[in-house]
Amino acid sequence: MGSFQSLPDDHQYRTLSQKTGFSLEQIAILHNRFKQLSQNEETLRRDDLKTIQDLESNPIRYQIIEAFFDRRNFQKDGVGSVEEIGFEEFLTVMSYFRAPAHRITEEQKEEMRRAKLRFLFNMHDTDNDGTITLEEYRHVVEELLSRSGALGRETAKGIADAAMLEVASISVGPMAPDEFYEGITFEQFLKILKGIEIETRMHIRFLNMDTTVLCKQHCV
């Protein structure tokens, strides 16, 4: 593992810490990991992420990898995707998985919730038109069931349709036969996932990571 000069990085870390809310130790650990994945280069590419062994068995790995390269997740009004990302973007995406601090106000909690749900929403809404259409939803369910073969693919359609119907009836209510429900908007998405406490469920414990062990496995 390469050594890094402490001073400039320290300053860098401080700004990053302010921006993303991570502590300095957490940033250091994540930086190590970033360097490990990108093989000590400055930027990370999709292929670097694809080399992670454990990710192979994950049914939604492509969506996860895409999320790292999606401009919407690290810029306010970004559109489209990039080919490579730097450490700052990596950290920004990771910051969506921070746990809420102990004492935060209701407003901050709500804001955090919205941000996390926005991340999820962006993962589903691949064409960035602001709604999750039926096709996109079907794709999501298909990916989830992608390990089940033919049975999964057929049933996925049914499940996605049922889910869509549910959202439509909850958000819009009774519809005339010729009205068309465009898709799930972000507000409706918030509503249907109200039951899941996203702010506490969507988090990773960052502090206890020991990447030196993994280095032996992944260092080529």
Work out whether strand 131-132 and strand 184-185 pair parallel, antiparallel, or are unpaired.
antiparallel
| Least distance in angstroms from the C-beta of 150 to another protein | 8
| Least distance in angstroms from the C-beta of 67 to another protein | 8
State both tokens at 61.
Answer: 């790995």
| Least distance in angstroms from the C-beta of 13 to another protein | 17
Name the DSSP class of 81: B
Check: CB of residue 90 under 8 Å from CB of residue 68. yes
Residue 77 or 179: the one with the smaller Cβ distance to another protein is: 179
The residue to which tokens 């005339």 are assigned: 176
Helix (H, G, I), strand (E, B) or coil at 107: helix
Residue 7 or 185: the one with the smaller Cβ distance to another protein is: 185
**Nearest-angstrom CA–CA distance, 143 and 141:** 5
Angle at CA of residue 32, ends 28 and 38, nearest 5°: 140
**Nearest-angstrom CA–CA distance, 170 and 73:** 28
Residue 75 or 212: the one with the smaller Cβ distance to another protein is: 212
Angle at CA of residue 137, ends 163 and 73, nearest 5°: 125
Residue 24 or 175: the one with the smaller Cβ distance to another protein is: 175
Residue 87 or 206: the one with the smaller Cβ distance to another protein is: 206
| Least distance in angstroms from the C-beta of 161 to another protein | 6
| Least distance in angstroms from the C-beta of 30 to another protein | 7
Spatial CA neighbour of 199 closest among 76, 101, 90, 89: 101
| Least distance in angstroms from the C-beta of 213 to another protein | 9
Residue 11 or 24: the one with the smaller Cβ distance to another protein is: 24
44: β partners: 85
70: β partners: 81
